[in-house]
Structure 1
Amino acid sequence: MRRCRWRWQGQWRLRARARQWPPARQWASARHWERPSAKRVLDLTLGSILLALAAPLLAAGTLALAARRPRGGVLTRSPRIGLNGHLFVLCSLRTRRLRLDLLSRLPHVVRGDLSLVGPEPLAPGDDRAAGAVGPSTADTPASATDPAARHWRQELKPGLTGLAQVRSRSGMPWDEPALLDQHYAEHHWVGLDLAILARAVHAPLHRAVHGLTRCGKAHLSDTDHRRCGYSAAE
């Protein structure tokens, strides 16, 4: 009887250990999990909302372009430099009406290739991207691991819009796109992202409202205010 009881207790302990949750491997993987940053939470939340709202407009634009059968297809595909110098293919609609080309890039924001706010996504052959693709094979191991040799464009994702896009039209010397992008890379935070997004939305809305008001104005001449029966001979 004692042997049976010991055997039953041993089996019960083995089953209890097998039912332990989470197992040691899951605990080890949980230690390596990193909490998403506030910027990534903003991109994922607001990007998903904007994509859901813009989906009908993007579908209509896609169908309109497909009916015209443009050369090269409905989408444009071009390589761009992302976070840590990784390359990705940027897809956008082949039109700029109603800023559909920018709205069509929202899936890249949700996927994590782009951010809502950041520097302009550059092509690998762009001179401004020098040093942003990572160290070349000719670099020494010391220079490749030196933090000072790391280009500032590697530190953050390119954006759907950015400080350069909303400020570069002023024409001031300190509003050069490269300087604005670098300034954003050094001082970016969620509050600045929200301010840039508000400015990016306000500008096209202001132009649209201003255009409607101008179209609604009546172009009256001096003769329109004269009394009935007035003659120039008088």
Structure 2
Amino acid sequence: MRANYRMQRLFTDAPLQPGTGIEANGEQFNYLANVLRLTEGAELLLFNGRDGEWKASLSFPTRKRIILTPIELTRPQPAGCDLHFLFAPLKVGRLDYLVQKAVEMGAGLLQPVMTQHVQGKITNLDRLQANAVEAAEQCGVLAIPTVQPPKKLTDLLEGWDMSRRIIFCDEDSSTQNPISALSAVSERSLALLVGPEGGFSDEERALLRGLPYVTAIPLGPRILRADTAAVAALAVVQATIGDWH
């Protein structure tokens, strides 16, 4: 069932049950009352990443409080996407964009990876999680991906579940077309690894290429910025071996 893009969508961490009111927090109150200027009886969509999407009615028990009451289940909760997105952090503005686009493209888990040439850093996981929630609100996603604490690439690979294949974007690939390499992948549990602006080091590339659960792919003949490469790679993976089938 497709999302209803005509109604306002709002994430809440509270359980969603018919007839059980949920009080909006301060930020939500300001957004609903002062930004959207919703009035008594207005309807919107609520989701929490667990209980599906619900049509809810808004009421003002007092001038400073809003209660959101679920009325009707509009979409059941789907299974979460199993694609893990592994990325080298970028500078703040572009990092926000990267997280938002990864959520829109169906990433089920976001894992920052510290590589040798990484230029950005993760200082606020709550900010990244908030970006993930905002992207889900705007694009109809019901499952909120979890943002994991950063890990060094070597540490990540040492503890890796080898049943999950890693697709990594290799700018030094001998070909330009990723389709042939992706078509040979039979695993359904996948992770996509996108490096930093400076690319992977020679040591990192050799390490990745030497692992049996890693597949290297190119991203065409042009040089892409890291955030552009991430969107392009997510699209080609989802279209070839992901959930776009």
TM above 0.5:
no
Bigger strand fraction: 2
Bigger helix fraction: 1
- Give the structure, 1 or 2, with the largest relative contact order (CA under 8 Å, sep 6 or more): 2
- TM bin, normalised by shorter chain, reads under 0.3
Q: Which has the larger radius of gyration?
A: 1
Taking structure 2 as the reference length, the TM-score comes to: 0.19
Taking structure 1 as the reference length, the TM-score comes to: 0.19
